[in-house]
A = this chain, B = another copy of it.
Amino acid sequence: MVQRLVVVGGDAAGMSAASQAKKRRPDLQVVAFERGRATSYSACGIPYWIGGAVETEAALVARTPEEHRAAGIDVRMRTEVTAIDLDRREVRWRELESGVEGNEPFDDLVYATGSVPMRPPVPGIDAAGVYGVQVLDDGAALRAELESGEVSRVVVIGGGYIGLELAEACRVRGLAVTVVDRSATPVGTFDPDIGEFIAEAVRCEGIDLVLSDEVVAIEVGADGRARAVVTASGRELAADLVVLGLGVRPNVRLAQEAGIPLGASGGIAVDARMRTQAEGVWAAGDCVESRHRLSGDRVVVALGTHANKQGRVAGINIAGGYATFPGVIGTQVTKVCDLEVARTGLSTEEAEGAGYSFVTASVDSTTRAGYFPGAQPIRLKMLAERRSGRLLGAQIVGRQAAAKRIDALAVCIWNEMSVDEILSLDLSYAPPFSPVWDPVLIAARKALEAVEADVRTL
């Protein structure tokens, strides 16, 4: 039986695993290593802390090292794991402040190192003043820069949802912000017709959006700091600060060095119980790949909600219980300025990539009965498989109370419902909450018509 558990990485996934395992097996020795200054914090909340909507760093921390210690977990803060030796069953660690090093033995190991921001391989990328924001300490550093009074122009490289959240955070601080993205519309996980609404919302907020262009170099001043971003089309965008918003990749360096196998996606390969292919080694969170239930592919999705669930599953299994993480379907929600956008399932590009043939339907409706005060616009797009009518994907764009409707559609996709079945669902209705035909039902009706029209051509 497992006696000694070592956890590498003290955020959502790692500490969920540690907590579950310790709760179920109080006799288990659990040692958790965290390089940074915080445990169990909301990485997703960092942009809002940078922007000021969240006032304190502490607010982002769900559970402090002291709280974990009170639960019997030996948390080693500011301590980096530098190597994992699977044969000797030990990790090599180093205290970042003191430089002291040592080894910690384990029976089982949880690998939960999260992700690292993608860095485009362009000249100047490593200059001072170029920030990736992944861990809380990154956020603290960026926040300090923004508060220094020295920064007035920010360029964000990448218009994904994290890029836009960071852009907005800088904008609400009154800075001039430009976002550069290589696609024709921002947030490439959405179809372009939805992305256009996002672009409009971003621009309305006074953020410059440079699309269909990409960064080829960062100009560095004599002081060693980034001073401009140069794009493929020849633009030179002056910048006191450059923020990386290109998304993240799994932080797998240590795993690779230790011989813990990766999957085709580049994330750590795990089974449904979060076991890696190395004996007694588990992994969870942004560093692992998950099964996409629609495409069948393995995908890396960096999201706190998955990290928490996966950590919980790993911890239960380590403690001798049984739990599984049955995969993802690509659900995502974000707020872009005052626009709410959400998606679930496959986008058009993803569905095509997975080999599906499908019809689409888009409808414009309102979040409340049209006659009810405060009714807000909502556009809902559905992808339904040909013949079967199975819902493959849905995207929502709208104002207040629009986006969370994606959850009902996520449950539909999870259960492989057809748009015909969805049309019959007993969804909640009252004038302050939806039109008598909820937008979800209207879209299903239109998608069903498209499926049936298509069937007639087969």
Q: A254 contacts the other chain (Cβ, under 8 Å)? A: no
The A383-419 residues at the B interface (CB cut-off 8 A) are: 401, 403-408, 410-412, 414-415, 417
Cβ of B371 and Cβ of A59 under 8 Å apart?
yes
Q: A255 contacts the other chain (Cβ, under 8 Å)? A: no
| A425 / chain B contacts, CB cutoff of 8 Å | 410-411, 414
| A42 / chain B contacts, CB cutoff of 8 Å | 369, 371, 431, 436
Closest to A330 in B: B426
Cβ of A428 and Cβ of B411 under 8 Å apart?
no
Q: A457 contacts the other chain (Cβ, under 8 Å)? A: no
Partner-contacting stretch, out of A196-204, A217-225, A304-312: A304-312
Cβ of A404 and Cβ of B428 under 8 Å apart?
yes
Expressed in whole angstroms, the minimum distance between the Cβ of A193 and any Cβ of chain B is 20
Q: A440 contacts the other chain (Cβ, under 8 Å)? A: yes
Cβ of A44 and Cβ of B430 under 8 Å apart?
yes
Cβ of A329 and Cβ of B430 under 8 Å apart?
no
The size bracket of the interface on A is: 35 or more
Expressed in whole angstroms, the minimum distance between the Cβ of A392 and any Cβ of chain B is 14
Q: A303 contacts the other chain (Cβ, under 8 Å)? A: yes
Q: A148 contacts the other chain (Cβ, under 8 Å)? A: no
- Report which of B59, B344, B372, B401 forms a contact with A401, defined as CB distance below 8 A: B401
Cβ of B44 and Cβ of A428 under 8 Å apart?
no
Q: CA–CA, A408 to B409, complex, Å?
A: 8
Expressed in whole angstroms, the minimum distance between the Cβ of A137 and any Cβ of chain B is 18
The A289-309 residues at the B interface (CB cut-off 8 A) are: 303-306, 308-309
| A430 / chain B contacts, CB cutoff of 8 Å | 44, 332-335
| A328 / chain B contacts, CB cutoff of 8 Å | 426
Q: A373 contacts the other chain (Cβ, under 8 Å)? A: yes
Cβ of B331 and Cβ of A436 under 8 Å apart?
no
| A438 / chain B contacts, CB cutoff of 8 Å | 305, 407
Question: Per-residue CB proximity of A325-345 to B under 8 Å, as 1/0?
Answer: 111111111110000101010
Q: CA–CA, A369 to B12, complex, Å?
A: 14
| A423 / chain B contacts, CB cutoff of 8 Å | 309
Q: A455 contacts the other chain (Cβ, under 8 Å)? A: no
Q: CA–CA, A79 to B335, complex, Å?
A: 51
Closest to A312 in B: B445
Cβ of B415 and Cβ of A372 under 8 Å apart?
no
Question: Per-residue CB proximity of A418-439 to B under 8 Å, as 1/0?
Answer: 0000011111111111101110
| A263 / chain B contacts, CB cutoff of 8 Å | none
Q: A36 contacts the other chain (Cβ, under 8 Å)? A: no
Closest to A437 in B: B308
- Report which of B371, B404, B410 forms a contact with A404, defined as CB distance below 8 A: B404
Q: 15 A-B contacts, Cβ less than 8 Å apart?
A: A44-B369, A44-B429, A45-B371, A48-B431, A53-B372, A62-B436, A305-B427, A309-B423, A333-B433, A334-B430, A335-B430, A335-B432, A411-B412, A411-B415, A414-B426
Given contacts A44-B369, A53-B373, A324-B424, 18 further A-B contacts (CB under 8 A): A42-B431, A44-B431, A45-B431, A48-B372, A54-B371, A54-B372, A305-B429, A309-B423, A331-B428, A332-B428, A333-B433, A344-B426, A344-B428, A404-B434, A405-B407, A410-B425, A410-B427, A411-B415
